[in-house]
């Protein structure tokens, strides 16, 4: 019982879940998820550089960050386009 309650608590407090179920425009949701993607792909590289871990894997982590940033930029442009579309043509 307590395990189910704890999982439910974590599910409702999860930042991705909060963004998806928020009462915001769909463009804002996509932009927020894109920002979370950039942060999630930047954290391993930042930790490796700051703490000196995985010195031989820094190139791979940099590529992971670059790929995540590229996908997030596409998500940002799509979210911006959806915001403009919803405000101008879909009232």
pTM of structure: 0.79
For residue 12, being part of any structural domain is answered with no
In three-state secondary structure terms, 88 is helix
Contact 32, 19 (CB under 8 A): yes
Q: What is the full DSSP assignment across 41-79? A: HHHHHHHHHHH---GGGHHHHHHHHHHHHHHHHHHHHHH
Residue ranges making up the domain that contains 63: 25-88
Residue 55 is encoded by which pair of tokens? 């010195």
pLDDT of the chain, 91 residues: tens digit per residue: 777 787 777 777 777 777 878 888 889 989 999 999 999 999 999 988 888 877 778 888 999 999 999 999 999 999 999 999 988 987 6
Residue 22 is encoded by which pair of tokens? 């928020």
What is the rounded distance in angstroms from the CA atom of residue 29 to the CA atom of residue 78? 11
For residue 60, being part of any structural domain is answered with yes
For residue 3, being part of any structural domain is answered with no
Confidence at residue 91, expressed as pLDDT on a 0 to 100 scale: 64
Q: Tell me how many domains the chain contains.
A: 1
């Amino acid at each position: 019982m307590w395990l189910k309650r704890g999982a439910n608590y974590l599910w409702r407090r999860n930042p991705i879940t909060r963004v998806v179920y928020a009462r915001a425009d769909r463009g804002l949701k996509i932009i927020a998820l894109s920002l979370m993607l950039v942060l999630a792909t930047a954290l391993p590289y930042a930790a490796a550089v700051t703490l000196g871990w995985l010195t031989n894997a820094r190139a791979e982590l940099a590529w992971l960050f670059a790929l995540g940033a590229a996908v997030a930029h596409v998500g940002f442009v799509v979210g911006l386009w959806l915001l403009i579309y919803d405000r101008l043509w879909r009232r």
